[in-house]
Amino acid sequence: MGDVLTPEQRSRCMSSIRGKNTTPEMLLRRLLRPLGLRYRLNDDSLPGKPDVVFPKKRKVIFVHGCFWHRHNCKSGRSVPSTRRVFWMNKLNENKKRDYRQVSELRKQGWKVLVVWQCQLKETNVNRTFLKVVTFLEKGTR
């Protein structure tokens, strides 16, 4: 079965997907605000352009969408019903690229935390906040 949208409609739809300042990123930054820490956003000098960079701590945080980066949750396991082979290849390549970028950052001496979109939902946000605080404090005392 083919795509239900025309190529122009699909292109417009896909181009509206943002790469930064997404809702999950904004939620994470709202969690970080009370900590009073200084950080940079989307540092393109680092592999993968991490979403949040703490240069003095040499720590980075990626905020990944569960579907696009293949988290092991309901959203991350879903597969579009049309063009399945295309989507599986694309999503698997995203996952491989993420792994390479995290590996490269670690080789360069950076500590890396990945926060998943589902971890920023209301039912999980307190646990995620503690995870982020622990990550940022670890090794600084």
**Number of helices (H) and strands (E), helices first, in the chain?**
6, 4
Report which residue type is found at 65. Answer: G
Residue 17 has what pLDDT?
62
Instruction: Mark 78-117 as b/e (b = at least 16 C-beta within 10 Å).
Output: eeeeeeeeeeeeebeebeeebeebbeebeeeebbbbbbbb
Which pair of structure tokens corresponds to residue 131?
Answer: 């995870």
**Per-domain residue ranges of the chain:** 19-137
In order along its 141 residues, the chain shows pLDDT tens digits of: 466 768 787 667 666 566 677 889 999 999 999 999 999 999 999 999 999 999 999 999 999 999 989 999 988 888 888 888 999 999 999 999 999 999 999 999 999 999 999 999 988 899 999 999 999 998 754
Question: Beta strand 59-64 with 40-41: parallel, antiparallel or unpaired?
Answer: unpaired
Superfamily grouping for domain 19-137: VSR Endonuclease (3.40.960.10)
pTM, two decimals, is 0.84
Nearest C-alpha neighbor of 61 from the set 85, 83, 43, 87? 43
